[in-house]
Amino acid sequence: MGLAGHEVLAAVLQVRAGSLQVMLWERAREPHAHRWSLPGGGLGGTEDVEASIRRQLAEKVDVTQLSHVEQLAVFSAPDRVPGPRVVATAFLGLVRSDTDPVVPSDTAWHPVDTLPATAFDHEAICRRARHRLASKLSYTNLGFALAPPEFTISALRSLYSAALGYEVSATNLQRVLSRRGLLEPTGAVAPVGPSGGRPAALFRFVSRQMRVTDPFAVLRPPSSRNLGT
């Protein structure tokens, strides 16, 4: 017997209020009414999976300017949803920290570390998305998809810390990313805050297209020699 259906889902992540958060919408109907769900839906007959998820995000949650999107995994357990079998192709989407997408009233951002009751296997998909992001921050330049066009090293450290789930040293982060040729100074400085002090230099990513920079690098928590290689 053939498959009954194919859906596409997106775990859209953004660092908001100092934590890594995922965009979810509240289901209005059974099954799993009032639980929180990843945006997505059925695959159209004339579109590929990436075109489908971009269309559905634009239609449902007004996320038209994702800074990065990539296929995450296929979830195909026969019992992942009640009723006829449905295979899901899940995507990881990232939104820059300096944007605030307009979302409908049934949609909200939730910290990945404290998810509400989710529908079906969507919690597992969220966890997989966070793991993928943390892994790619180790060996690619994917930090560009979280950061605004210009930033201080302190601000970048906060983004990496939120995404990785542990505190990162600003000095070590700058050393590692600069050694890989990922950052460059803009020549400008950030406005001085109310407390005064020396203005912080502004940096930017050399490229805002994802590329592998060190395939064997691993960013480690402080107890494991901080940033590792």
Write down the domain spans for the chain.
5-136, 140-224
pTM summary value:
0.91
pLDDT in tens, 117-168: 999 999 999 999 999 999 999 999 999 999 999 999 999 999 999 999 999 9
Region 5-136: CATH code: 3.90.79.10
pLDDT in tens, 81-110: 999 999 999 999 999 999 999 899 999 999
Distance CA 20, CA 133 (A): 10
Share of the chain above pLDDT 70, in %: 92
Q: What pLDDT, on the 0 to 100 scale, is given for residue 175?
A: 94
- pLDDT score of 7 more than 90: yes
Region 140-224: CATH code: 1.10.10.10
- Residue 223: band (very low, low, confident or very high) from pLDDT cuts 50, 70, 90: low
